[in-house]
Amino acid sequence: MNGSARPKIPRRLLDGVLLLDKPLGLSSNDALIRAKRIYLAKKAGHTGTLDPLATGLLPLCFGEATKFSQDLLEADKTYEATMRLGVRTTTGDAEGEALQTREVTCDEAAIHAAMAHFRGEIAQVPPMYSALKRDGKPLYEYARAGQTVEREARHVSIHALEMIACALPDVTFRVTCSKGTYVRTLAEDIGEKLGCGAHLVALRRTGVGALTLEHAITLETLADATQAERDSWLQPVDALLTTFPAVHLDADATRRFAQGQRLKLSEIADAPAQAVRVRVYAIDDQRLLGVARAGEGVLAPERLVVLTA
């Protein structure tokens, strides 16, 4: 073995959430790897992928926060997107080849009217260029081989959809939608409603659940910062759980809950009146203990945390 081999750099036990502003052209996994390397973190994960074409909010979880990343996968998302009318592409975005070009004859009023058809619960056919699997193989592998397979329409919810800029053939809009929504498919469908087709040319995620871009940090800023600055930018683990009601346990209930025991709701002063998932804290030091399901008279632990600090 070469005696000049560099020693392994020790990894840090780190708990928290980094709100990353992902750059254009980088995959979510590559962004995670870079941030994990900068922090020298032992354990990290992200909360749902952004395509390389997309920028914006990518919450990264470190340590115990990774236990709750699934909860953000389920959360609503908000995007600002720009679609180009008149051209359909193979992928539904600017990375694909042009399939069809049509004249754009609509005006702003027609675009507003078309968007109105896509608010509320809608059915979307997932794009062929997606990671959804068919017979164990991602759809994009079929697409790259020139094959098209049948896909069932899925119901998604468009909570808000509004045009925020129009410089035809480009239209910029803001959308808040449920999990599983494909914004490029939404752009394509709006284009078809207008009779000219469309594809996505820019996509920026501005919100995930209650988290926003306001305090997001770029990889460049992270790389240039001191370790103390980087650590100060980490949100607490419960930043992922702000939509859950909070309950607080006394010392005895804290001990039993931490052992995974179910507790009687009648013992908990701020127990919710209806069945719901809750975040659980120790009343003495406000320490997060985990999440639980409250209902049928009991508080049942779901995920417990052991914070390093």
Beta carbons within 10 angstroms of residue 73's beta carbon: 15
CA nearest 53: which of 83, 98, 12? Answer: 83
- Supply the CATH number for residue 90's domain: 3.30.2350.10
Q: What is the pLDDT of residue 132?
A: 67
Same domain, 234 and 180: no
Q: Tell me whether residue 309 is in a domain.
A: no
Same domain, yes or no, for 121 and 166? yes
The domain that holds 286 is classified in CATH as 2.30.130.10
Residue 92 falls in which region: left (phi positive, over 0), alpha (psi -120 to 50) or beta = left
20 assigned to some structural domain: yes
Instruction: Say if CB 277 and CB 293 are below 8 A apart.
Output: yes
On the question of a cis peptide bond just before residue 236, with omega within 30 degrees of 0, the verdict is no
Q: 180 and 102 in one domain?
A: yes
Q: 89, 114, 83: which is closest to 101 by C-alpha?
A: 89
For 103-153, write each residue's pLDDT tens digit: 999 999 999 999 999 999 999 987 766 666 666 666 666 667 666 767 778
Q: Please say which residue of 188, 219, 239 terminates a domain.
A: 239
What are the CB-based long-range contacts (under 8 Å, 24+) for 269-275?
270/246, 271/247, 271/299, 272/245, 272/247
Residue 177 sits in the same domain as residue 135: yes
pLDDT level of residue 273 (50, 70, 90 thresholds): confident
- For position 249, what pLDDT does the model report? 95
Q: Do 280 and 304 form a contact (C-beta atoms < 8 A)?
A: no
296 and 222 within one domain: no
**Cα(269)–Cα(264) distance, integer angstroms:** 11
Torsion of CA 126, 129, 135, 137, to 10 degrees: -150
pLDDT of the residue at 183: 96
Do residue 165 and residue 130 come from a single domain?
yes
pLDDT number for residue 216: 96
Say what the pTM is: 0.87
Instruction: Quote the tokens at residue 195.
Output: 């009779």
Point out the catalytic residue in the list 51, 93, 189, 238.
Answer: 51
Whether residue 195 is found in the same domain as residue 219: no
Burial class (CB in 10 A: 0-12, 13-18, 19+), 62: buried
How far is it, in rounded angstroms, from Cα 206 to Cα 174? 9
pLDDT of residue 23: 96
- Clarify whether residues 85 and 185 are in a common domain: yes
CB 60 within 8 A of CB 44: yes
Residues 6 or more apart in contact with residue 195 via CB below 8 angstroms: 102, 105, 106
Q: What percentage of the chain carries pLDDT values higher than 90?
A: 72
Annotated active-site residue 51? The verdict is yes
Q: How many domains does the chain have?
A: 3
Is residue 158 located within the same domain as residue 55? no
Question: What is the pLDDT, as a whole number, of residue 178?
Answer: 95
Tokens of 253: 């209930």
Higher pLDDT, 207 or 242: 207
Q: State the helix-helix crossing angle for 183-194 and 108-116, rounded to 10 degrees.
A: 120
The whole domain housing 102 covers 77-208
Q: How far apart are CA 302 and CA 150, in angstroms?
A: 38
Task: Output the pLDDT for position 3.
Answer: 55
Classify residue 1: in a domain, yes or no: no
Residues 139 and 62 in one domain: no
Q: Which tens digit of pLDDT belongs to each residue from 161-209?
A: 999 999 999 999 999 999 889 999 999 999 999 999 999 999 999 999 8
Residue 302 has pLDDT above 70, yes or no: yes
Flag whether 3 is in a domain.
no
